[in-house]
Amino acid sequence: MKAKSLRDLLIEAEERETQQILALPRNTLSFSVSFIRQMNEIIASQKKEKKKPQGHPRLRRVIAVIIAAALLIATAVTAVAFKEKLLDFSIQREDTHTHLTLHGNNSFKKRLTEIYLPTYIPEGFSLKSHEYNSAYSLTSWNNGEADIYLEQSVIGENGRSIDTEDGDLVEAVFGDQPVYYATKAKYNAFTAVWHTDKYIYDFYAPLDLGLEELEKIIASISLDSRVNDY
Amino acid sequence: MLSFFLSTVEEQYKSKFEYIYYKYRDVMASVAKSMTENEESAEDALSLAFLSIAENISIIKTNDEKRLRGYLVTVIRNVCINKFNKKSSPETDECFADSEDISFEKIDKNIEDKNICEIIIKNILAMPEPYKCALYLRYVHGHTVKEICKMTSENENTVKSRIRRGTLLLREILNKAGINES
């Protein structure tokens, strides 16, 4: 047997421990909208960081950037196959998720001045929390088992990533509102995203409510109050 | 040639964080849920772990999936221990001679006997979590004390103390297994 150093043994111990943990029955976690929002923000900021020019790039990196730029120009037509515009989102599909990016219009004041909420909430659900600031409003309802979330954010440099492992984004019109939605049966999750001229909305609800009920909630979203006290 | 160009472009622009997040989110969530009292705490721990991963993304290596997976599990366990199991932390143990200095390199040995290796691994697995995690981060993943401080939101003294105490325990394990310190 090949002699092992103490470091080799630590590596083996960590690997065994990881294997033991992975062999345990998987505990699933339903992620809250605020968690998903926070992760989306990190992903967006990481991408922004990535795109920043480096102070002293290595030659290989410079070459890669030049090649990338050349390829982007040369394949502009092909890129349409990967990115398309529906609503005003730029959509980019990956293996397990889809990115929606909405580039903000600076011509209006970027502050939350109105709060939109659904007038219809399914029976059994009651208001769990409601918070807002100058950038967004986040409201949730709970029925003792599951949550419904609605987040309304002012349009800025908005990026969203939706889990589309179970299937592609679906384009639909709920009431008069075109939306994108995706479902994930494993987490009993229905996620919808849409925007109006001022705001971008994230909606999350249990999938087992049924599409008809979910549509009814989204279609009932209307002006609830005007705010400026932050 | 085109594939070379494309792979270079992908390497340049693909978000490492995004890759880690989507691939390992569920595994880390499962670990967090098993180590915390409720879903809220598990999500808090996960959030802290991903913030730490984002902050340290430039030093995280993704070329070895097995090691990356081990690293991510260690990170989330470490967060759960630091944030949610403070009372069970053995930081107040009196059994360590704090004045004693020790280096990992000094006790490192090449061990050929398979049975002794097995005994040592079993004892490492039985070590208190904070010391074990500190040793994994320092000696398995090669992070500096400062990097571990950033990852764990602990101060330098705590991290140094955990590594030192972990190393002392390793020496004790080696001594018990008959591997004498030179």
**What would the pLDDT profile of A74-102 be if each residue is shown by its tens digit?**
444 333 333 344 577 878 777 777 877 77
**Ramachandran sector of residue B134 (left: φ over 0; alpha: ψ -120 to 50; beta: rest):** alpha
> Tokens 């050349």 — which residue?
A70
pLDDT at position A80 is: 37
- E strand map for chain A: 83-86, 89-93, 97-103, 114-118, 126-132, 136-142, 147-154, 157-163, 170-174, 177-184, 189-195, 199-206, 221-226
Confirm if B104 and B173 have CB atoms less than 8 A apart. Answer: no
Do B140 and A10 lie within an 8 Å CB cutoff?
yes
Contact list, A6 vs chain B (CB under 8 Å): 104, 107-109, 111, 120, 139, 170, 174
pTM given for the model:
0.54
**What would the pLDDT profile of A153-165 be if each residue is shown by its tens digit?**
888 656 677 878 7
How far is residue A41's CA from residue B98's CA, in Å, rounded to a whole number? 43
Would you give the DSSP letter of residue A116?
E
How far is residue A114's CA from residue A130's CA, in Å, rounded to a whole number? 14
Instruction: Please compute Rg for chain B using Cα positions.
Output: 18
Q: What is the ipTM of this complex?
A: 0.81
Contact list, A97 vs chain B (CB under 8 Å): 22
> Residue B127: CA atoms inside 13 Å, Cβ hemisphere, count?
29
Residue in A with minimal Cα distance to B21: A39
Choose from A7, A8, A14, A94 for mutation: most chain B CBs within 10 A. A14
> Each residue of B10-21: b (16+ CB within 10 Å) or e?
eeeeebbbbebb
User: Chains A and B: how many Cβ contacts under 8 Å?
Assistant: 140
Question: Which residues pair with residue A226 across a beta bridge?
Answer: A114
**What would the pLDDT profile of A9-40 be if each residue is shown by its tens digit?**
999 999 998 888 878 777 777 778 778 878 87
Q: CB contact, 8 Å: A69 with chain B?
A: no
pLDDT average, residue stretch A207-223: 93
pLDDT tens string for chain B (182 positions)?
Answer: 333 333 333 344 347 888 888 888 888 998 898 888 788 888 988 998 998 888 888 888 877 888 888 999 999 988 888 777 654 445 544 455 555 667 888 888 788 888 888 999 999 999 998 899 999 999 998 888 988 887 777 889 989 999 999 999 999 898 888 876 54
Of A15, A43, A64, the CB nearest to B21: A43
